[in-house]
């Protein structure tokens, strides 16, 4: 693939996820360095009105407005069109910064399984062993709804647990560390200096788990207390994933081990999503 000559770092795609918004401020004030030898980099706030209102979005989720076939006419749909027109031609790589209320630590979300991303995961995981590499590669690039897919290449950095609308020092530090590694990786990729990448374990998104509801649209269960706060920890066949209010549990019944994440993410609460599930696989980079 070609060298990446320009990188756009995006905060405030969700207006109440403060780590990326404040990292953007640190970049502007030159308190955090995004310069590398082989490319130029800049940063931008994607949804300033949502940031001002300290809310995820004003009318619609901006981070779901970027699949090609979408025809919405909300404020965020128009913002998505503007974003594409203003930034995408000149920035082949977008790094989009997010927070989650789930206890996911620093997670690098990769939307394609191509060698460029597999190697990026290896580079980051090797230098930040506590981080998680999550592939969400089930859709074609053009069908992905996420802002970071507006250009040719894109990734998301997702850091938590942090309540939306709040800002924790440690979460910001984790985001800085992971962003620096992604920028270093792109630099080394451009300069043909990538070597000694090791195979690693990564998570591959499989499905979401809906919270069961009654006829009045009220929940009849919650995430099982044994997995709350334990994102990316294994759940095996026969282990509980939900606890109903009637006194019995709902168990994971399939034969494969699964790794819940985005557990109780508050932004997914209105859609009654309990968690997402992933499988763990070894990624081979050599």
Q: What residues make contact with Zn ion under the rule CB under 5 A? A: 14, 17, 98
* DSSP element (H, E) containing 273: strand 273-283
CB of 14 to Zn ion, least distance (A): 4
The first and second tokens of residue 221, run together, are 């269960």
Q: Which is nearer to Zn ion, 57 or 200 (CB)?
A: 57
d(CA 61, CA 63): 5
Q: Which is nearer to Zn ion, 98 or 224 (CB)?
A: 98
Dihedral sign for Cα 223, 228, 234, 236, please: negative
CB of 141 to Zn ion, least distance (A): 20
Q: Count the neighbouring beta carbons within 10 Å of the beta carbon of residue 248.
A: 11
Please tell me the number of Cα atoms within 13 Å of 104 on its side-chain side.
31
d(CA 177, CA 13): 20
CB of 42 to Zn ion, least distance (A): 20
CB of 169 to Zn ion, least distance (A): 19
Cα Rg of the chain (Å, integer): 19
DSSP conformation class of 16: T
Contacts of 270 (CB under 8 A, 6+ apart): none
d(CA 122, CA 111): 15
Question: Closest-CB residue for Zn ion?
Answer: 98
Q: Which is nearer to Zn ion, 14 or 224 (CB)?
A: 14
The first and second tokens of residue 157, run together, are 């950095």
Q: Which is nearer to Zn ion, 39 or 268 (CB)?
A: 268
CB of 262 to Zn ion, least distance (A): 11
Q: Which is nearer to Zn ion, 98 or 125 (CB)?
A: 98
Q: Which is nearer to Zn ion, 13 or 112 (CB)?
A: 13
CB of 164 to Zn ion, least distance (A): 8
């Amino acid at each position: 693939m070609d060298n990446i000559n320009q990188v756009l770092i995006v905060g405030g795609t969700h207006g109440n996820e403060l780590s990326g918004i404040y990292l953007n401020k640190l970049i502007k004030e030159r308190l955090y360095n995004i310069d590398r030898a082989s490319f130029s980099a800049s940063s931008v706030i994607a949804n300033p009105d949502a940031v001002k209102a300290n809310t995820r979005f004003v009318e619609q989720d901006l981070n779901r407005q970027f699949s090609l076939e979408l025809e919405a006419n909300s404020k965020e749909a128009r913002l998505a069109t503007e974003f594409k027109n203003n930034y995408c031609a000149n920035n082949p790589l977008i790094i989009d910064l997010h927070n989650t209320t789930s206890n996911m630590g620093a997670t690098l979300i990769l939307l394609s399984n191509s060698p460029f991303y597999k190697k990026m995961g290896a580079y980051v995981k090797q230098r930040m062993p506590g981080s998680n590499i999550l592939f969400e590669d089930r859709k074609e690039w053009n069908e992905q709804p996420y802002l970071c897919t507006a250009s040719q290449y894109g990734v998301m950095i997702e850091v938590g647990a942090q309540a939306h609308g709040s800002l924790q020092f440690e979460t910001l530090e984790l985001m800085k560390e992971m962003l620096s590694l992604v920028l270093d990786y792109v630099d080394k990729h451009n300069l043909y200096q990538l070597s000694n990448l090791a195979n690693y374990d990564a998570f591959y998104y499989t499905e979401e788990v809906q919270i069961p509801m009654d006829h009045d649209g009220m929940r009849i269960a919650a995430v099982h207390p044994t997995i709350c706060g334990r994102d990316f920890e294994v759940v095996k066949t026969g282990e509980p994933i939900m606890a109903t209010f009637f006194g019995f549990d709902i168990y994971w019944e399939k034969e494969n081990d699964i790794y819940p994440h985005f557990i109780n993410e508050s932004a997914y609460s209105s859609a009654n999503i309990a968690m997402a599930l992933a499988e763990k696989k070894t990624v081979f980079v050599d």
